[in-house]
Chain A
Amino acid sequence: MAFEGLGERLQQTLQKIKGKGKVTEADVKEMMREVRFALIEADVNLKVVKEFVKKVSERAVGSDVMESLTPGQQVVKIVRDELAALMGGEAETITFAKKPPTVIMMVGLQGAGKTTTTGKLANLIRKKYNRKPLLAAADVYRPAAIQQLETIGKQLGMPVFQLGTEANPVDIAKQAIAKAKEDHHDVVFIDTAGRLQIDEDLMQELRDIHDEVKPDEVYLVVDAMTGQVAANVAETFDQQVGVTGVVLTKLDGDTRGGAALSIRSVTGKPIKFAGMGEKLDALEPFHPERMASRILGMGDVMSLIEKAQSNVDEQKAKELEQKFRDQSFTFDDFLEQLEQVKQMGPLDEILKMLPGAGKIKGIDNVKVDEKQMGRVEAVIKSMTTEEKSKPEIINSSRKKRIARGSGTSIQEVNRLLKQFDEMKKMMKQMSNMQQGKGKRKMKMPGLDSLFK
């Protein structure tokens, strides 16, 4: 896309500042212009952007920056910190009623993904909290909305309460709760009709349902791709029915998702979950920090900050480094890494975020095959525990079994084993070099592996 990363842009500005050694007010102003641009392109509401930029500028022009050794990094750190602060702390949990059933009302605009999210959330609650949900179909307007919920209920093996399209949604909600008590369901989801924000009649209906059933949670379902209007939408729904949490859907797309920031900043309500795909288990807890860097959109910004901060997940990194060093890095660790990479978002997007990647010609056209990653995963998962920790024991008959088990070929298994081996060697060299730096004489990289 034509979108030039905030990272690239800030980098350029930083270059100039680096030469000077001090950040002036004018420098900050210039950097803030880039920040403003990036946030608007990420669909953060203009008012929120303005407030944000003002706040950051005030902090950035302060003396701590001026006297800082690495002023540029300091500014970026402030941007990121403020953003993360705005996004809120870690995801909060679901409030269950002391006396069941817990009533969860799902609201949102048309097409945000309420019905699908209802199914996903019910699935998650059943799995994680061991509850027994009942789904109530209160969208009597959209053609086949009830069928959609019923199909989802069937897929999940969960009962769906409905009274057809002629019934009053308030009655449906009321009777669903009665039914839940009767059948000992401890959670009731009320899937309401989607609406255009300005539709007063439907808003009234939502208020009526709310007043009648007094839900424990009201979840606003918002499409992550929503533009400037997201702030308005969230505000209106919050005023009308008192939103308790937000579910951001379609976050598996390639949107930057600035809507999350707008909603959070305007309503102060936590974003609790993120929809990450079309399958009914594709719902994850929302991670504010991850979202902050996604909105900024740039890996190199993050790496800059990490240099300035360098305490992000230090424990884990240390463990990993130790593993590299004594070569105890196993396929299990590898799989974990793979999972982490996958959670960061679509691979080709991540690729573009890498520092300097934007300069590589044709990077826009790179499409990383997510399937290939799946195959690698399958190969690893087809190994026994022993094989994972000691890949050297994998002989040809084991290879044959792994290939069969993972639906791949021996060639693919071989390739992975070879890559893994090379990776391990490289890691060891790198960590040796780092360790040796400054303390003792530099070892020649790879020398020791020659004698093994």
Chain B
Amino acid sequence: MSFFKKLKEKMTGKPDETTEKYKDGLEKTRTSFTSKVNDLIARYRKVDEDFFEELEDLLLQADVGFETVMQLMDDLRFEVQRRNVKDTEGIQTAISEKLVDIYRKGEEGEGGLNMQEEGPTVILLVGVNGVGKTTTIGKLANRFIGEGKTVMLAAGDTFRAGAIDQLQVWGDRVGAEVIRQAENSDPAAVMYDAVRAAKNRKVDVLICDTAGRLQNKVNLMNELEKVHRVIGRELPGAPHETLLALDATTGQNALIQAETFKEATKVTGIVLTKLDGTAKGGIVLAIRNKLGIPVKFVGLGEGVEDLQPFDAERYVYGLFAEGLEQEAETLGGETPGEE
């Protein structure tokens, strides 16, 4: 719990009420997780190789990836021996602790966003095609506006047909000004305009959209590097956050995505999108384990308010639970709809 509390405090700056809400939600989540692992445990009275194998399968099916799973299993086997766990009852805590450990390894003060007291905080969204960057920007903007901040959006995806309009629709919906140029114009020029406008109009947060690109397209990655550079030149220290949008349905390629985008734009965090219960996005564990990039938000659905700060513990439970949707519901009514 303490981890979450810390995270939440950092995120919102108002610990009490929200944390309470979350606490309630977490209680239910924990029950749901327990039932899942209980299932496994009920079938295996003893902690033996078969048990480990099934656990291993569970993790592999969540896209955690071979290497990280193997490391985890080794750790667990060691832990089981060390604590002399014989029956499956005792292993429950060990499992979740190890998983959260892998995730939290080396994390200090990386949970929240690097918000600026003075002047605009610039957030750059990057990622491959179709992961939901524009939608995430809409939700982020909504979140900030809900906190009483002024928000401006930069339509940096000048390539994909309809992308600028899509961002404009979001801007109108949440009440944020959109800085845009014509389709096919230079995205770096859009950023230049946007950063200047954000400074002049003294908005609190500028969120920059970029065109989706596959990480192996060298030219497009160079273009992104330029976008990043131009922002930094117009406002030293910016972008304060570079968020990589990652589709939860993505498999092992996500690791390469994270690595390459990190190289080009110094990614500071991940937004895990489309986490809908069937797609578990286990690859973020591997990304965290290997590259140290933390997940900052998860997108749980299509509604404007379906963007939640990431909570490692809850997420880890979700890896085992069949429906994350269910868990989203338990979040004290923070998610709309009743799927």
Contacts and interface: CB of A to CB of B under 8 A. Distances in A.
B60 A46 contact: yes
B264 to A, nearest CB: 12
B161 A151 contact: yes
A2 to B, nearest CB: 7
A227 B339 contact: no
A278 B339 CA distance: 34
Interface string A233-269: 1000000000000000010111110110000000000
A226 B251 contact: yes
Contact of B130 (A111, A259, A346): A111
Nearest to B161: A151
A383 B14 CA distance: 71
A250 B127 CA distance: 13
A146 B253 CA distance: 30
A425 B277 CA distance: 61
A43 interface: yes
Contacts of B189: none
A198 B278 contact: yes
Contact of A148 (B128, B162, B259): B162
Contacts of B301: 196
Contacts of B247: 111, 223, 225
Contacts of A144: 162-163, 165-166, 168-169
B4 interface: no
Interface in B267-302: 274, 276-280, 282-283, 290, 301-302
Interface string B225-256: 00000000000000000000001011111111
A143 B255 contact: no
B339 A111 contact: no
Contact of B276 (A142, A197, A278): A197
B157 to A, nearest CB: 11
Given A143-B166, A227-B63, A278-B159, A254 B132 contact: no
Contacts of B249: 109, 223, 226-227, 229-230, 233
A31 interface: no
B276 A1 contact: no
Interface in A98-112: 109-112
Contacts of A367: 218
A229 B279 contact: yes
Interface stretch (A34-42, A59-67, A331-339): A34-42
A200 interface: yes
Given A46-B60, A144-B162, A223 B130 contact: yes
B66 interface: yes
A185 B278 CA distance: 39
A265 to B, nearest CB: 15
B316 interface: no
Nearest to B162: A148
Contacts of A40: 60, 65-66
A287 B10 CA distance: 51
Contacts of A422: none
Given A111-B131, A227-B250, A147 B161 contact: yes
Interface string B150-176: 000000000111110110111001000
A198 to B, nearest CB: 6
Contacts of A110: 130, 132, 274
B253 A113 contact: no
Contact of B253 (A230, A255, A349): A255
B216 A254 contact: yes
B309 interface: no
Nearest to A196: B276
B329 interface: no
Given A144-B165, A148-B161, A111 B252 contact: no
Chain A interface helix/strand/loop/mixed: loop
A147 B173 CA distance: 17
A250 B129 contact: yes
A46 B283 contact: no
Interface string B62-106: 110111000000000000000000000000000000000000000
Contacts of B290: 2
A40 B219 CA distance: 30
B40 interface: no
Contacts of B302: 141, 196
A448 interface: no
Interface string B102-142: 00000000000000000000000000111110000010000
B216 A253 contact: yes
A46 B214 contact: no
A369 interface: yes
B61 interface: yes
A370 interface: yes
Given A113-B129, A151-B162, A369 B339 contact: no
A200 B61 contact: no
Q: Which of B130, B165, B168, B280 has the most C-beta atoms of chain A within 10 angstroms of its own C-beta?
A: B130
A155 interface: yes
B251 A1 contact: no
B278 A225 contact: no
Interface in A35-87: 37, 40-43, 45-46
Interface string A138-171: 0001111111111110010000000000000000
18 contacts: A46-B57, A109-B274, A112-B130, A144-B162, A144-B163, A145-B162, A146-B162, A147-B162, A148-B162, A198-B278, A226-B249, A228-B60, A228-B63, A229-B279, A254-B214, A258-B251, A259-B251, A278-B129
Interface of A: 1-2, 37, 40-43, 45-46, 109-113, 115, 141-152, 155, 196-200, 223, 225-230, 232-233, 250, 252-256, 258-259, 278, 346, 348-349, 367, 369-371
State the 7 A-B residue pairs at the shortest beta-carbon distance, nearest first: A227-B251, A148-B162, A111-B130, A43-B251, A151-B161, A143-B169, A144-B166
Given A145-B166, A229-B63, 18 more contacts: A43-B63, A43-B251, A46-B57, A109-B249, A109-B274, A111-B132, A147-B165, A198-B277, A198-B323, A199-B339, A225-B247, A225-B251, A226-B249, A227-B252, A228-B61, A250-B130, A255-B252, A369-B218
